[in-house]
């Protein structure tokens, strides 16, 4: 994974932009919990094969949560959530969901084997990797989704970075530092990455910068007119 610190950094930046009047320490604390929690599927990996990057890292559960929240707070006449939570915490929940999708799942999607995008509907890891370039020689070129047409049969294959299933993919974590199916006779090295490349350090720095700048601005919202 890009480390949890990277997720948290990017999430802080997003939250500073989205929380508006509800930007305060308590809201940020909730947000951090939401960012850290999905990593708990690392521990699930001890009992369920390939659980990390599967149970807490997919787009299906956030979509279900968003639909449920929308239905309950906007469509239904009597809202279960509204009876229990003030508007402030409903807004925070939306921001947390947003941060979970963009700062956590989407970032992990781009890394190593990616995430199990459609789990539990479909068990297949996808990895987002590529680029979009316009060049005067080749025009627009994008390499995120590879569409290939077989010249003989005319059949089309689309490769959006699909990899193995939760059976075959193991993403190393400090909890499970290596694939349990592989036997090696070495002392176990548990590595806790903080930032494994410049851009990850950049995302951490962006979050801290937003946090610091908001402090410097005072209450952050109301002092300017």
Q: Which residues bind another protein (CB under 8 A)?
A: 2, 10, 13-14, 16-22, 73, 86-88, 90-91, 94-95, 98, 102-103, 106-107, 109-111, 127-137, 144, 187-199, 201-203, 205-206, 209-210, 213-214, 217, 220-225
As measured in angstroms, the least distance from the Cβ of 4 to another protein is 12
Nearer to another protein, 158 or 188 (CB): 188
Cα separation of 141 and 125, whole Å?
24
Cα separation of 6 and 4, whole Å?
5
Angle between helices 87-99 and 60-70 (to 10 degrees): 160
As measured in angstroms, the least distance from the Cβ of 122 to another protein is 20
Nearer to another protein, 43 or 102 (CB): 102
Nearer to another protein, 98 or 125 (CB): 98
Nearer to another protein, 49 or 82 (CB): 82
Cα separation of 203 and 209, whole Å?
10
**At residue 146, what are phi and psi to the nearest 5 degrees?**
-100, 110
Nearer to another protein, 26 or 167 (CB): 26
Nearer to another protein, 78 or 156 (CB): 78
Cα separation of 211 and 225, whole Å?
21
As measured in angstroms, the least distance from the Cβ of 112 to another protein is 11
Nearer to another protein, 78 or 192 (CB): 192
Q: Is 183 helix (H, G, I), strand (E, B) or coil?
A: coil
Residue 136 tokens read as 């005067």
**Cα separation values, 94 from 7, 11, 15, 57, 202, Å:** 17, 13, 10, 18, 25
Cα separation of 27 and 7, whole Å?
16
Cα separation of 10 and 211, whole Å?
11
Q: Which helix (H) or strand (E) holds 205?
A: helix 198-216
As measured in angstroms, the least distance from the Cβ of 151 to another protein is 28
As measured in angstroms, the least distance from the Cβ of 153 to another protein is 31
As measured in angstroms, the least distance from the Cβ of 109 to another protein is 7
């Amino acid at each position: 994974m890009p480390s949890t610190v990277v997720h948290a950094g990017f999430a802080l930046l997003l939250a500073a932009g989205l929380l508006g009047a509800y930007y305060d320490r308590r809201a940020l604390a909730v947000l951090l919990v939401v960012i850290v929690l999905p990593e708990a599927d690392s521990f699930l990996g001890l009992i369920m094969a390939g659980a990390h990057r599967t149970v807490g890292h997919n787009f299906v559960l956030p979509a279900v949560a968003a639909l449920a929240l929308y239905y309950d707070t906007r469509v239904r006449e009597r809202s279960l959530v509204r009876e229990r939570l003030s508007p402030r915490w409903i807004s925070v929940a939306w921001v947390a969901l947003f941060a979970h999708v963009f700062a956590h799942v989407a970032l992990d999607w781009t890394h190593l084997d990616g995430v199990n995008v459609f789990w539990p509907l479909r068990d297949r890891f996808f990895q987002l990797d590529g680029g979009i370039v316009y060049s005067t020689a080749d025009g627009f070129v994008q390499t995120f989704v590879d569409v290939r047409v077989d010249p003989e049969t005319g059949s089309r294959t689309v490769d959006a970075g699909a990899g193995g299933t939760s059976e075959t993919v193991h993403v190393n974590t400090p909890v499970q530092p290596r694939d349990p199916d592989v036997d090696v006779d070495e002392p176990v090295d548990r590595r806790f990455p903080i930032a494994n490349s410049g851009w990850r350090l950049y995302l951490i720095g962006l979050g801290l910068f937003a946090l610091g700048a908001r402090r410097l601005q005072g209450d952050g919202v109301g002092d300017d007119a």
